[in-house]
Amino acid sequence: MFAATAATIVSGAVAERCEFVGYLVYSALISGFLYPIVTHWAWAPNGWLALGASITFSDDGVPIQLKYHDFAGSGVVHLLGGTAALVAAIILRPRLGRFDPTTGLPREIRGHSVPLVSLGGFILFFGFLAFNGGSQAAIASEGDGQAVALSMVNTCLSGSSAAFLTMAIQKLRFGTWSLLSTINGGLAGMVAICAGCNAVQPWSALVIGLVASLAYLTVSWLVLKLGCDDPLEAVGVHAGGGFVGVILVAFFRNGDGILVSPGRRSGMNLLWQLVGAAAILLWSAVLSVLIFGSLRLLRLFRVSEEHESKGLDIPKHGEPAYPLAAYGHGWE
């Protein structure tokens, strides 16, 4: 499921103009090769991030064992998928008409159904409880239930605080209450808490959600400012939320977080979390350039302008997503 998630994150950034064959190819490569390497680094007993590094200071001679903490995949799943989504969107190029050819300013392309987006958001909110709570991978031993319960509570709190802050910021910026931005903000909060949901206090989860909201809005704004078309804001939600989630573990983790127990250990833990995030980002970016660059060279990545203008449902699949007959049925 995690492998599939890493691949499907990309679909939001290439929506409405990606070839179905290209979708199948990159999904297989991401879930079958790009993601498994990173999950081995972080979660396999002999992975280099999981093993960590032992650092000894000369004045006390006491070694500090550093280990990468990413309980449910803020970095392993979401930062990886968000980075791949950014590379894919850049290589695929924007949708037709997304940016004004003269000024370069973005033009709005509205989605089809806000209620369906809301339904999908609620499904994801519910799924994150299994995503994060299920990462304990056990429920029968002592402490399992506590870890699962804490993970689920923190997931709800982080997602909620991120959603509320995003809604408030968008109201201040544009004067309206944006449901779509609120949903994405909540998802960014849940993405960010993945890394430390089993190891931070509930008040920390609230703070992590607030930071995730700011990261989502900032990254989404930068992506658009750079002329990159990301229809579902997958980069802001997953890369932005995933990166801050990995980093904030070092600040809030019970026992040795910088804001909980400041000292050398907490500072070095931050360094190791940064090492992990940088390694995941670099690996994902390089492999994604090879994957999506190859698809573009082979002309398997972007649909024709004619098909994009018509919509991909009928010319590519022979099945209209919104048949006119359905709208007129029973009216006459």
3 state SS of 9: helix
The CA distance from 19 to 303, in Å, is 5
Q: What pLDDT sits at residue 61?
A: 66
What residue spans define the domains of the chain?
Answer: 2-301
User: Which segments in the chain show pLDDT lower than 70?
Assistant: 56-61, 326-332
Instruction: Evaluate whether 84 touches 289 at the Cβ level (below 8 Å).
Output: no
Q: What pLDDT sits at residue 327?
A: 60
CATH architecture of the domain with residue range 2-301 = Orthogonal Bundle (1.10)
Question: Is residue 66 within a helix (H) or strand (E), and if so which, with residue range?
Answer: strand 63-66
Q: What pLDDT sits at residue 332?
A: 44
Query: Which pair of tokens denotes residue 26?
Result: 């990159």
Phi, psi angle pair for 63, to nearest 5°: -70, 145
Instruction: Evaluate whether 34 touches 286 at the Cβ level (below 8 Å).
Output: no
Q: What pLDDT sits at residue 326?
A: 62
Those residues whose C-beta lies under 8 Å from the C-beta of residue 94, and which sit 6 or more positions away, are 227, 228, 229
Instruction: Evaluate whether 269 touches 250 at the Cβ level (below 8 Å).
Output: yes
Q: What pLDDT sits at residue 10?
A: 97
The CA distance from 256 to 46, in Å, is 23
